[in-house]
Amino acid sequence: MEEPIVITGAGIVSAIGVGMKETLASLKAGKTGIGEMKYLTSRHRDLPVGEVPLSNAEMMKMLGVEDDIRLTRTALMGRLALREALEIAQMTEEQIRQAPFISATTVGGMDRRELYFAQEQDCDLVHAEISTHHCGSCTEMIAQPFGEFASMATVSTACSSATNAMITGANMLRCGMADIVVVGGSECLTLFHLNGFNTLMILDHEPCRPFDKDRAGLNLGEGAAYLVMETAASASKRGVKPMCQLSGYGNACDAFHQTASSPEGEGAWLAMQEALRMAGLQPGEIQYVNAHGTGTPNNDESESHALRRIFGEDLPPVSSTKSFTGHTTSASGSIEAVICMLALEHQFMPPQINWHTPMDDGIVPVTDSTPKQEIRYILSNAFGFGGNDSSLVISKYED
């Protein structure tokens, strides 16, 4: 029997709160973070977004750092989430030095680069901007205040990025490359980001409605979440109590289209099937599914078909928390993993908000947060462009 992989720390920042406590309160109150733009300066102000409710200056103050042109919004949010995760896991400097850090992003430092793009020919700061643009720089900036990690890596597979960072870290634990890893992702809103999705014509001009017949697209969001994962033996040796267990995971690619999911949800079905197989579970043992559920016509139809293929007519309660946070793209997998951890610990199901009318042949999401039975196993989905699909099984830790 393989050594269990446990989660001993978690930190989260999103439109519904900074930290686990605020996030839990918003989820239980059914309070969305999606609204009008405040910090992103765009002419498309008719598009609702899920912004973290802090300016860059406010985040710098919380982190105790001075304004620096190199500090991107992605890095600032990442530092807040990482700090909480390391504190909860009671990580010492020596333990950090033994832990690989695997972080996910796709936008990277685009937010700062955009400020100076038009001035590049004349701006002396352009080289500083270029140095913070790429995704690897964000990983380094997020990690920098916390000491020297054993290694650092950056994962960028669009909307499955943070889940794949977790899977990469879990594989390192399983094959003995590390006893403890720190994994997750961070992604900020940018004009490039917003305009790109708007060009694809998949942004809703109203708050998103995943799995609703009248759904019209997604709302972009931003945020960060990190988790400390380790073997059960490592947690016992460090004297820390596991919060939950990562029981299984799967990644697959349907290679159907550059942006769209296949109609039958092939990649999603394969990823969920593998996660359940690794966890040693039958579909009927899952008590809640945190769906990818973007609110686009294609995604929700495709995911509905994949869920039906896995569960048949005996679907467990399903909801998408993107109606709370917006779609945080590369960070969504770790943000939603932390939300699943909160659901396990506090025994509730994040309700589907903004939902009114059932889809044709689609799933009916849960709108009541009270579970009908004890929640022990949760399936969490994250599906990326190009059909890069990943699923996790997060479960109560059995000592």
CA distance 250 to 105: 20
Q: Which of 133, 135, 327, 340 is catalytic?
A: 327
Q: Which residue has the tokens 């002419």?
A: 43
Strand partners, 221: 50
What is the helix (H) or strand (E) element at residue 165, kind and residue range?
Answer: helix 161-174
Q: Where are the alpha helices (DSSP H) in 242-296?
A: 266-279
Residue 327 catalytic? yes
Instruction: Give which of 100, 81, 114 is closest to 185, Cα–Cα.
Output: 81
The confidence score (pLDDT) of residue 256 equals: 63
CA distance 66 to 184: 25
pLDDT tens for each residue of the chain, 399 residues long:
578 999 999 999 999 999 999 999 999 999 999 999 999 988 898 999 999 999 999 999 999 998 877 789 999 999 999 999 999 999 999 999 999 999 999 887 777 776 766 666 665 555 555 666 778 788 999 999 999 999 999 999 888 899 999 999 999 999 999 999 999 999 999 998 899 989 889 999 999 999 999 999 999 999 999 999 999 999 999 999 999 999 999 999 877 655 556 667 688 999 999 999 999 999 999 999 999 989 988 889 989 999 999 999 899 999 999 999 999 999 999 999 999 999 999 999 999 999 999 998 888 999 999 999 999 999 999 987 666 899 999 999 987
The confidence score (pLDDT) of residue 80 equals: 98
- Whole-structure pTM value: 0.95
Q: Which of 159, 188, 244, 340 is catalytic?
A: 159
Structure letter (DSSP) for residue 156: -
The confidence score (pLDDT) of residue 142 equals: 96
Q: Which of 133, 193, 244, 292 is catalytic?
A: 292
For the chain, give the longest Cα–Cα distance.
Answer: 63
For the chain, report the end-to-end CA distance as a whole number of angstroms.
Answer: 14
CA 325 remoteness from chain centre: 10
Residue 159 catalytic? yes
